[in-house]
Amino acid sequence: MRTQVVIIGAGPAGLLLGQLLCRHGIDNIILERHTGAYVLGRVRAGVIEQVTIGLLDEAGVGARMHEDGLVHDGVQICVDGVRHRISFKELTGKTVMVYGQTEITKDLMDGRAALGAPTVYAAQDVALHDIFADRPRVTYRAGGEAHEIVCDFIAGCDGFHGVSRTSVPPDTLTTHERVYPLGWLGILCDTPPVSEELIYVRHRLGFALCSMRSPRRSRYYLQCSLAEDIEAWPDERFWQELRPRLDEEARHRLVTGPSIEKSIAPLRSFVAEPMRFGRLFLAGDAAHIVPPTGAKGLNLAASDVRYLSRALIEHYAEKSDAGLAHYSERALARVWKAERFSWWMTTTLHRLSDNPFDQKLQLAELDYLFRSKAAATVFAENYVGLPY
Ligand SMILES: Cc1cc2nc3c(=O)[nH]c(=O)nc-3n(C[C@H](O)[C@H](O)[C@H](O)COP(=O)(O)OP(=O)(O)OC[C@H]3O[C@@H](n4cnc5c(N)ncnc54)[C@H](O)[C@@H]3O)c2cc1C
């Protein structure tokens, strides 16, 4: 087989890139390790920035998002039982939208199907070859048969555990990592959210987040140890641990119910540099991971795709490789700022140590955030997404 761009991975990065390329007449094939149903079943991110909204519109898949997505003008932060609000709208003129990653994935899959673009699900043993040559190749197995695709470029959109990043010569790659000694225990349930806006909770018992997917579906998280066994967390125990971390009003409004999903996600900061290796370009979680505290993972994947799609369109339409040459540098400049913000949110809101000095610093940091318009503006600018 022959195509212009092979995209490895049908997560948000791969599907969005495929959609944008198709709309500019650039042929692409997506290879995905799992089935479509498995990809759709993963409950992950929920808060999207305006730039991501804009890209989904550009990809022609934004209609349902505008109908069902919840526009949020601000966010609430509860510190030891006292709630504070930061208004994005007043400080930056911008907002964010709550719209689940599963819904975005569905919209992108439907959009791709409508264009008739090829996706190979359940592709096994995907391997990259000749990435520094003019005609790289990708091989894989599907339906019990071996296949080979010759292409111009490969987009490695296959997440942190994918094959793309590990296919590059180790001496060409530098990685930076911070693994936090905790995870997020999350549950999803069909109950009305406790608040119209997200509530980030800093409490001496540990971090919590009250989030939502719709006016009828809530998502709650608790800070937990990495050794935690999910089986040891029946729903009742989750609610018992959440309640005392909330302020009085939230406790009063909390509607509990049976969970429809429960999972533990480890918290990690990771960056691989550069993001280009010959004709292989990494995008999204394949190149970087942020702890979910700043809601940046999906948005960063989208911003990589913005740079990469424009660079590929420029290559084919204008015969210019300037965008491709600068892709890694441009994407990483944004990645590191999101890494900084996500690290700041994580270290400021979680109980990371028992050292009273660290806890006093957290409280001073938050007090400054609530009292200083400059500090609140810095927070709001980063939360709604920095400009390109
Ligand atoms: C449990 C969890 C919770 C999260 N919660 C949040 C959140 O609340 N907020 C937030 O902003 N972000 C969150 N994130 C991060 C966010 O979901 C990711 O940043 C986002 O999914 C990145 O998209 P991606 O397309 O780069 O990677 P992925 O979504 O990981 O997609 C990669 C795709 O590549 C496929 N793949 C992997 N290996 C291969 C291979 N060898 N061959 C072919 N295909 C392959 C995978 O099956 C997958 O479909 C969470 C992540 C996890 C894991």
Beta bridge partners of 29: 6
Ligand 1 pocket, 289 CB below 6 A? Answer: no
Q: Is pLDDT at 45 greater than 90 in this prediction?
A: no
Res. 43: pLDDT tops 90: no
Q: Is the beta carbon of 8 within 6 A of some atom in ligand 1?
A: yes
- pLDDT tens digit string along 210-228? 999 999 999 999 999 999 9
Ligand 1 site, residue 9, Cβ cutoff 6 A = yes
User: What secondary structure, in 3-state letters, does 325-350 show?
Assistant: HHHHHHHHHHHHHHHHHHHHHHHHHC
The owner of tokens 């028992």 is 354
pLDDT for position 103:
95
Distance, CA 367 to ligand 1 centroid (Å)?
A: 34
Cα–Cα distance measured from residue 281 to residue 156, given in angstroms and rounded to the nearest whole number: 6
Structure-token pair, residue 36: 């479509």
- Tell me, using a 6 A CB cutoff, whether residue 126 lines ligand 1: yes
Q: Among 161, 298, 342, which is best to mutate for testing ligand 1, by the most ligand atoms less than 8 A from CB?
A: 298
Is position 181 annotated as part of the catalytic site? no
Residue 200 designated active-site: yes
Residue 93: what pLDDT?
A: 97
Q: Alpha helices of the chain — where are they, by DSSP H?
A: 12-23, 36-40, 50-58, 63-68, 88-92, 101-115, 235-242, 248-253, 297-318, 322-349, 356-371, 373-384
Look at residue 388 and tell me whether its pLDDT is greater than 90.
no
| pLDDT per residue as tens digits for the range 277-314 | 999 999 999 999 999 999 999 999 999 999 999 999 99
DSSP 21-42: HHHTT--EEEE-SS-HHHHHT-
215 is catalytic: no
Q: Which among 146, 148, 117 has a CA at the least distance from the CA of 135?
A: 148
Give per-residue pLDDT as tens, 146-186: 999 999 999 999 999 999 999 999 999 999 999 999 999 99
Q: Which atom of ligand 1 is nearest to the CA of 12?
A: 25
Instruction: State the pLDDT at residue 31.
Output: 98
Query: Considering only CA atoms, which residue is closest to atom 51 of ligand 1?
Result: 44
Choosing from 291, 292, 307, 327, the catalytic residue is 292
Which residue from 185, 184, 190 is spatially nearest to 260, judged by alpha carbons?
Answer: 190
pLDDT at 283: 98
Q: Under the phi-then-psi rule, with left for phi > 0, alpha for psi from -120 to 50, and beta for the rest, what region is 154?
A: beta
Centre of ligand 1 from the C-alpha of residue 161, in Å = 9
- Pocket lining: 295 vs ligand 1, CB cutoff 6 Å: yes
Query: What's the pLDDT at 57?
Result: 97
Q: Measuring CA to CA, which residue among 204, 162, 160 is closest to residue 179?
A: 160
Residue bearing the CA closest to ligand 1, atom 15: 297
Distance (Å) from CA 158 to ligand 1 centroid: 8
- Would you state the pLDDT for residue 387? 86
Pocket test for ligand 1, best of 6, 226, 285 (most atoms within 8 A of CB): 285
* Mean pLDDT calculated for residue range 345-355: 96
Among the options 200, 221, 307, 327, which is catalytic? 200
- What is the token pair recorded at 121? 């699900």
Q: Is the CB of 13 under 6 A from ligand 1?
A: yes
pLDDT band at 83 (very low <50, low <70, confident <90, very high): very high
pLDDT at residue number 170: 94
- The minimum-distance atom of ligand 1 relative to the CA of 301 is 26
Q: Quick: pLDDT tens for 92-102.
A: 999 999 999 99
Residue 64's pLDDT band (cuts 50, 70, 90): very high
Predicted confidence (pLDDT) per residue in 236-286, tens digit: 999 999 999 999 999 999 999 999 999 999 999 999 999 999 999 999 999
Dist. CA 301 → ligand 1 center (Å): 9
pLDDT band at 44 (very low <50, low <70, confident <90, very high): confident
| Catalytic-residue membership of 220 | no
Whether 315 is a known active-site residue: answer: no
pLDDT at residue 354, rounded to an integer = 92
Q: Is the pLDDT score of 42 beyond 90?
A: no
- Please tell me which residue in 203, 288, 296, 315 is annotated as part of the active site: 296
